[in-house]
Homo-oligomer: A and B are copies of this chain.
Amino acid sequence: MAESQKIHHFDVNDEVLESLVGYNLKRAYMIFQSDFRATLGETGITTRAFSVLSLIAQVTDITQSEISRRLGIERSGLVAIVDDLQEKGYTVRVPVPGDRRIQALSLTKEGKKAYNEAKQAIAIHEQNLLSDFNKKEVKQLLSLLKRLRKPEDSVT
């Protein structure tokens, strides 16, 4: 039994699954996701929390609804993320004069620090996972992945 396992190589796998973009996207995504957790797990920053943190860092005074649209996360799901970031002291909700429904999100000093540290850790994590890729290949991969998104974005 143990013998037969060692005989099986990567290329012996199910050809149907291996030919599906969806399946290969998932496998690749899982590797990045688990390595991301191993990298930022101790900080308590999840993938979603980082993406929200990053968006607030780039677009000051952004609202939750706007984040929801840009990241493709439901508004309802955002509440817990922002609550958590606020508990950690990384972000604050500031009332906006003129529209009392919304609150502008911005980073605290600690939030900026945490974001920059996370950003650096992620850069290293991506470098590790992409060590076999040259710059051109990474660019190509990013380009192809973005094109997969385009149809959906244009619908919005």
Contact = CB atoms under 8 A, between A and B. Distances in A.
A144 B147 contact: no
B54 A14 contact: yes
B122 A148 contact: no
Secondary structure type dominating chain A contacts = helix
Copies in the complex: 2
Interface stretch (A25-33, A76-84, A86-94, A105-113): A25-33
A98 to B, nearest CB: 9
A126 interface: yes
A33 B22 contact: yes
A15 interface: yes
A71 to B, nearest CB: 8
Interface of A: 1, 5, 8, 10, 13-33, 36, 47, 51, 54-55, 57-59, 66, 69-70, 72, 99, 102, 119, 122, 125-126, 129-133, 137-138, 140-142, 144-153
Given A14-B58, A21-B138, 13 more contacts: A14-B55, A16-B54, A17-B51, A17-B54, A19-B142, A22-B129, A23-B51, A24-B149, A25-B25, A25-B32, A27-B145, A129-B151, A130-B148
